Amino acid sequence: MREVKRVRGGDGSSAEQFFRSFWPAVGPAVTGLYARTPVETRFLIRVLGLRRGDRVLDVPCGFGRHSLELARRGIRALGVDLNPRFIAEACGRARLEGVPAEFRVGDMRRLRLRAGFDAAINLFSSLGYYGEAMDQAFLRALCRALRPGGRVLLQVVNRDFIIHHLAPRMRYQAGPVRVREVRSFDLATSVVTTRWEASRGQRRWTGTLGLRVYAYHELVRMLEQTGLRVTGAWADFDRRPAVLGSRWFVLRGERARR
């Protein structure tokens, strides 16, 4: 069995080991991500007001599924992720299809990009693995990367949903992958710790990951403190309005035009 080093969200320690070792092996099968990509991308284009030729920053981009789908529609996308395997796969797909997507290996904690992007996206609850101070610094970096009037779209799991609906144990089959999850929630830190066990044939993986989950008011405050005014909030990519019991929050923030 392959053991992935334990990491905690909310205290500044690194989640790299989890995403380098465990997630590439089982993530896509567990989450069924690719099937949702076209619907999610249509939502992105609509609520961000994207047009052909616009520049979009996607970080962390994972396998590049959103960047590639945006590029297929004539939008110039730059995807950044710390996992070289993800980036290599995304680059290969972009070359094969001849679409205007660019990919780079990079760490969201050390994002250094010049302003000029029309939009930036941070999806699938990618905020919360490195501590509150680092999350705030990352949002500031996203804001700096935008042109004046540029927009950010942030998708995060809702802390209040987790408090009321956290399942301590789950077992399920995701395609060829069998998964067991054991979860706990720390009220003092709002960190969800999940112990994963997955198997596919004779292969086994385990990993533990901590995620700082945020309430709606915390997200609004963080965005506003980085210079992003919240201009939209939804419960998911189907454009239902965000409410207290929403599983997800999808927030749109806009940089000032001056």
CB 184 within 8 A of CB 192: yes
Q: What is the pLDDT of residue 9?
A: 47
Average pLDDT over residues 214-228: 98
Bigger pLDDT: 29 or 118? 118
Q: What is the pLDDT of residue 191?
A: 96
Q: How confident is the model at residue 200 (pLDDT cuts 50, 70, 90)?
A: confident
Q: How far is the C-alpha of 216 from the C-alpha of 251, rounded, in Å?
A: 9
Domain locations in the chain?
2-12+161-211, 32-157+216-255
Placement of tokens 């980036």 in the chain: 87
Average pLDDT over residues 158-167: 96
Average pLDDT over residues 217-245: 97
Whether residue 74 is predicted with pLDDT greater than 90 in this model: the reply is yes
Class of domain 32-157+216-255: alpha beta
Question: pLDDT for 123-157, tens place per residue?
Answer: 999 999 999 999 999 999 999 999 999 999 999 99
Bigger pLDDT: 55 or 257? 55
Q: How far is the C-alpha of 146 from the C-alpha of 141, rounded, in Å?
A: 9
Average pLDDT over residues 25-43: 78
CB 126 within 8 A of CB 142: no
Residue 128 has phi, psi (to 5 degrees) of 120, 0
Q: How confident is the model at residue 4 (pLDDT cuts 50, 70, 90)?
A: very low
- What's this model's pTM, rounded to 2 decimal places? 0.90
